[in-house]
Amino acid sequence: MTLRLGFEFPSGLPKWRANLNTSIASLRRKRMSHVEMLERRGYRLLDILGSGSHAKVDGVVKVYMAEFIADNLCQRPMACKLVDMEKAPRNYVVKFLPKELEILRRIKHPHIIETYSIIQWNKRYVCTFMQLAEKGDLLDFILENGAVSENQMRVWFRQITLAVQYMHTLEIVHRDLKCENILITAKCNVKVSDFGFARSILDDHGSTILSDTFCGSLCYIAPEVLKGLPYNPKISDMWGLGVILFVALNCAMPFRKFSQIKKMYEAQMSYDWAFRSKISDELSSQVKSLVKKLLEPDLNKRLGVQQILNSKWIAMNPKCLILSKREKSALEKAEEEITKIKAKKPTTDDVA
């Protein structure tokens, strides 16, 4: 069966095709069953790119570079996330993985990593093929190049915020926004990725519900999550955006990596963070004000997505205030979809 995904054929074979090492051959010998199955469907696994956030057991979640083969020709490379459900923690398989797959099937936005296909087989493996971000993630970019310039970060932060706005419109929250989950494409655009902790926050009656799951990465987790009480995950996503912006501009975390949650919480609540003096002198007052309003422990004062997009800092580049056709179309479709979903859900009175 030939599968058409709309890729362009490259003019020549990529360099990495000529440099496959023996570990790939070893991988294929050990896992011939699922490798053969994928190749029958036109997919070929290549180098291992990394491990997923749930890879608490070796081999549970692995991310590969892959390629789609059609008519014996190599198409554009992609990324492949392979989950071994037999080795994965039961909590992940039962609670998080089904939500992630459901969300990946629903979302499509120019600033969210695109999912091409999801393949499940033998009740053991789940394989998600998605867009390859050629320049890696934002954290690696910062570690290699230093702090991101304010002008560049304005463009990237707008893209990230638009992706979050789209998700929140669909009543979906990410709950693990961090630099490692912001990927950079060959054209230097950023894409939000990794929806392992994402979930819908609508109940069976169409009402929004709070979260009570402690999830995410400690350095990016909002104080209300650390507190251990039910929280509004949309507001908590805003904290994650604030940490991303701070790290990108400052090339350092806002809060030291405390091993104790209590100390981290106390630092967050007391505004115990500051830009490095050398960096602070070069930053505009508008971006410093925006970071302060995002790393705000008072939930009633923390900014929302629309306030970010309408902020004075974003407005410093007038082009950032205008939605592209694809951005506008994605948001309108999300608004239409959520309206239909809420209309179909029974109200409390209907159930009674």
Q: Give me the residues paired with residue 137 across strands.
A: 183
Q: Where are the beta strands (DSSP E) in 85-242?
A: 115-121, 125-130, 172-173, 182-184, 190-192, 199-200
Q: What angle do CA 30, 34, 38 make, to 5 degrees?
A: 130
The rounded distance, in Å, linking the Cα atoms of 180 and 244 is 9
Tell which residue, 88, 71, 85, 3, has the closest CA to residue 38. 3
Tell me if 232 sits within 8 A of 223, measured CB to CB.
Answer: no
- Residue 44, H or E segment: strand 43-51
Respond yes or no: is residue 176 known to be catalytic: yes
Query: Which residues are within 8 A (CB) of 22 and not within 5 positions of it... i.e. 6 or more apart?
Result: none
Residue 127 carries which side chain, given as an amino acid letter? C
Residue 151 has which token pair?
């002008």
Which of 176, 194, 298, 349 is labelled catalytic?
176
DSSP per-residue string spanning 99-137: HHHHHHHH---TTBPPEEEEEEETTTEEEEEE---TT-B
The rounded distance, in Å, linking the Cα atoms of 101 and 41 is 20
Query: Which residues are within 8 A (CB) of 141 and not within 5 positions of it... i.e. 6 or more apart?
Result: 135, 148, 184
Residue 8 carries which side chain, given as an amino acid letter? E
The rounded distance, in Å, linking the Cα atoms of 331 and 3 is 29
Residue 101 carries which side chain, given as an amino acid letter? L
Q: What angle do CA 248, 112, 41 make, to 5 degrees?
A: 130
Residue 79 carries which side chain, given as an amino acid letter? A
CB count in 10 Å sphere of residue 194: 22
* Rg of the chain (C-alpha set): 21
Q: Which residues are annotated as catalytic?
A: 176
